Structure 1
Amino acid sequence: MNNLMCILPILGSALALFTFLISYFVAVLRGDVYPWWPFISDTGTTVPESCIFGELLTLTAISALVAMVIRYKWIELFNTDDKKLRKFNIIGLVIGGLSCFFMTMVANFQETKIRDVHMPVSAATFGLALVYNILQTEITRRMSPQHSTICVWTLRLLISVAGAISFTLLYGFGLTSDGLARSWYGNDSEKRLHWKPTDPDWDLHIVASISEWCVGITVVLFYLTFCYEFSKIKLRLIPERVEASTDDDAPLLS
C-alpha cells in the first residue's frame, strides 16, 4: 500500500469538519440554536443533532489517535541518538492520547445535560491538542531538514500560534461573557442557545464563539499537515504461515 497513508489525515480532517458542519446545519434548520456563530458544542447538544455529533466526534477521536500512534512510530524509527527528541515524542503521544480521550467525553457529555463535565473536558481537549501541536512543531524543527522541511515547520508554527491566540480569546471572552450574562439567562439553557445581538454581552459572546471555531479549525489544519510525513510511509502486508506445535511435551490445559 504505497503512499496511501497520507489518506488518513485527509479523511480524519474531513470527518472533523463534516462533524462540525452537519451538526450546525441540523441545529439551525431545526431552530435549536441561533444561526449566527453558535459555539460548536451548542450545535451538538439537542436531539437529534447530539446523536450525530456524539457518534462522528468519537470516530474523529479514534482516527486522530491512530494517526498519533503512527506519527510516534515514524519519529521513533528515524530518531537514534536525540534523547530530548525521544522524550518529546513520548510526552506528545501521552498528551495527544489524553486529548483524544477527552474528545470522546465532549462528544458524549452534552453541554446542556452535564455542563459541569462538558466544560472542563472541552477545555482539556483543546488545551492538550494545542500542547500536542506545539510539541510536534518542535519535533519537526529538530528533524529538519533530514526528515522534514523548514516549510512544514513554519506552517505548523503559524498554525500553533494561531491556535494559541484563539484559545486565549475563547476562554478570556467566553468566561467573561458567560459570567456577566448569567443574570439574564440563569439556568435556562434554551435561552442561552438563542443568544441574539439584542441580548446582553453579545459582543463578548460572539468573539468567544468565533474563537472556538478558529481553535477547532487550527487543530484540524495541523492534523492535515501530517500528510507530508505520511506520504513517505509504505505499508507491506506479509502473510506468514504458523505451523501447529507438535511438541509432545507441551503442557496441556484442562
Structure 2
Amino acid sequence: YILAVYYGHLTPFFPYISMTGGKPPESCIFTLICSISSIIWLLIIYIRYVQVKQYYQKGINKIEILNRFTFCIGAVSVFGLLLVGAFQDYTFESAHMVASVILWIFGILHMWFQTLVSYKIYHTGLTRCIDRVNIFVRLIISLMALIISIN
C-alpha cells in the first residue's frame, strides 16, 4: 500500500486490496505475500483436517466424510488466493475477478463447514457456549466479507 501511494499508482483513500498490488514494484510484493499466505493457510487447513481425523479414528463415518469435504473446499479457496496473487488486477482483470470470487465463496464455505465439523465433534457440556460464540463471530465475518465484496 505504501509503495503504491508513494509511486502514485493509487490514491490513499480506501483502495481495494488488489489495486495496491496492481503495478510493479508493489505487484511483486503482493504476489509474494499471497503465495506465502496460501502455503501457511493450506498448512493450517491440513493440520485441522488431521486433528479431526485423529479425534475420530472409528473409520468412515459422516464426520470423516464432512472433514474430507471441508478440506477440499479449503484447498479450493487457497487455490483462489494463489490465482489472485498470480493475476494482478490491472494485468489480467477477468482471471483476477474469477479468482477473487473463488476465494470469497469457497473461503466462506470452508469457514462454515469447519464450524459444522467443530459443532459435531465438540457439542457437549461447556463447549456449547463456545459454539455459540464461534457461530456468532463467523456470522459477523461472513457479513463483513459480503458487504466488502459488494462494494
Q: Based on CA coordinates, which of the two structures has the bigger radius of gyration?
A: 1
Distance, in Å, in 2 between the alignment partners of 1:164 and 1:123 is 14
Unaligned runs of 5+ in 1: 1-23, 173-207, 209-254
Asked if 1:94 corresponds to 2:67, the answer is no
1:26 aligned partner: 3
Following TM superposition, by how much is the alpha carbon of 1:151 offset from its aligned partner in structure 2, in angstroms? 4.8
Whether the 8 Å CA contact 2:123–2:131 is kept in 1: the answer is no
| Matched ranges for 1:33-72 at <5 A | 33-72=10-49
1:96–1:26: structure 2 CA closer, same or farther, 3 Å change rule? same
Following TM superposition, by how much is the alpha carbon of 1:107 offset from its aligned partner in structure 2, in angstroms? 0.4
2:108 aligned partner: 130
- Which of 117, 134, 143 does residue 121 from structure 2 map onto? 143
| Matched ranges for 1:172-191 at <5 A | 172=150
Higher relative contact order (CA 8 A, sep 6+): 1
2:97 aligned partner: 119
Following TM superposition, by how much is the alpha carbon of 1:32 offset from its aligned partner in structure 2, in angstroms? 1.4
Q: Deviations over 1:29-66 (max 9, x none)?
A: 22211111110101111111110010111010011101
1:76 aligned partner: 53
Distance, in Å, in 2 between the alignment partners of 1:89 and 1:138 is 10
- Which of 163, 167, 170 does residue 145 from structure 2 map onto? 167
Q: CA RMSD in A?
A: 2.0
Distance, in Å, in 2 between the alignment partners of 1:137 and 1:145 is 11
1:70 is aligned with what amino acid?
I
Aligned residues: 149
The percent identity for this pair of structures is 25
1:46–1:155: structure 2 CA closer, same or farther, 3 Å change rule? farther
Structure 2 length-normalised TM: 0.88
Unaligned runs of 5+ in 2: none
Whether the 8 Å CA contact 2:45–2:74 is kept in 1: the answer is yes
